[in-house]
């Protein structure tokens, strides 16, 4: 899987992509990430990437030309691919999207800043508009990282134990059941006996029951959806 991420502040992306599971996936060649500094495609001597909005109003708007140039450069080198724009007014990102998109070969992700991008970018260059939730971030980089992380961990070989991703919260529209590790007794707080019983069927039943109970308590909307 290849991600091409276009950003006005690329340094914001560095650390999360260079550690732990994502860095290991990159080392193994399962994940390839290209980061583009939008200023390199900026207009004029100042390499301008944003300007005032037509019609007046507070906040700068990201210009169409730098994004067009950057996307065309990526297409000419790597071929056409879907372009995602992360924005608070996009459709809400869900586990089902991560599952579906983990089967694609490549994506371009545009990180917005300021007031967002010129509408012509959305009308003519973007295929998918995605929000990571009903709140506004200072920039799209954190949202892009959320997409890259949640999609990448589903690529076969990225997680050491493939079944781990399948038992994540949301994979079956339920939250995950509680988990415990050693010691079995700590400070008078005990691990449920069933998990120590070695009885696989009982453990499976307990986990299913707890997943349902946890979802009913914390996210009843998932059950009634
Ligand atoms: N950019 C700013 N806020 C965002 C959000 N909630 N989701 C995606 N991109 C964003």
Q: What is the pLDDT of residues 175-196, one digit of tens each?
A: 999 999 999 999 999 999 999 9
Q: What is the pTM of this model?
A: 0.94
Give the residue extent of every domain in the chain: 2-152, 170-224
**Centroid of ligand 1 to alpha carbon of 68 (angstroms):** 21
Residues with CB under 6 A from ligand 1: 86-88, 112, 131-133, 135-137, 140, 143
Closest of 215, 80, 102, 88 to residue 149, by C-alpha: 102
- pLDDT tens sequence across 72-88: 999 999 999 999 999 99
Mean pLDDT of 95-101: 97
The pLDDT of residue 225: 67
Per DSSP, the residues of 150-168 read HHHTTSTTSSSSHHHHHTS
The CATH code that applies to domain 170-224 is 1.10.1270.20
> Does pLDDT of 148 surpass 70?
yes
Mean pLDDT computed over every residue of the chain:
96
**C-alpha 76, offset from chain centre:** 25
What is the band of 169 on the pLDDT scale with cuts at 50, 70, 90? confident
The helix/strand count (H/E) of the chain reads as 10, 9
**Centroid of ligand 1 to alpha carbon of 201 (angstroms):** 43
CATH architecture label of 2-152: 3-Layer(aba) Sandwich (3.40)
Closest of 57, 45, 44, 49 to residue 9, by C-alpha: 49
């Amino acid at each position: 899987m290849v991600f091409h991420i276009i950003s006005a502040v690329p340094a914001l992306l560095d650390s999360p992509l260079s550690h732990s599971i994502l860095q290991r996936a990159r080392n193994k060649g399962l994940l390839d990430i290209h980061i583009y500094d939008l200023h390199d495609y900026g207009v004029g001597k100042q390499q301008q990437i944003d300007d005032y909005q037509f019609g007046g109003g507070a906040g700068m708007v990201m210009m169409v030309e730098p994004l067009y140039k950057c996307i065309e450069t990526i297409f000419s080198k790597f071929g056409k691919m879907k372009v995602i724009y992360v924005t608070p007014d996009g459709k809400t990102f869900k586990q089902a999207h991560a599952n579906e998109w983990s089967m694609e070969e490549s994506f371009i992700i545009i990180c917005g800043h300021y007031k967002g991008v010129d509408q012509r970018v959305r009308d003519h260059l973007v295929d998918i508009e995605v929000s990571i939730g009903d709140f506004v971030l200072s920039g799209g980089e954190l949202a892009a990282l959320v997409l890259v992380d949640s999609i990448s961990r589903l690529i076969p070989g990225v997680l050491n134990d493939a079944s781990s991703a399948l038992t994540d919260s949301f994979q079956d529209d339920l939250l995950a059941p509680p988990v415990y590790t050693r010691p079995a007794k700590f400070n008078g707080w005990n691990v449920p006996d069933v998990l120590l019983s070695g009885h696989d069927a009982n453990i499976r039943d307990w986990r299913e029951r707890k997943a349902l109970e946890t979802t009913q308590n914390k996210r009843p909307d998932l059950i009634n959806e």
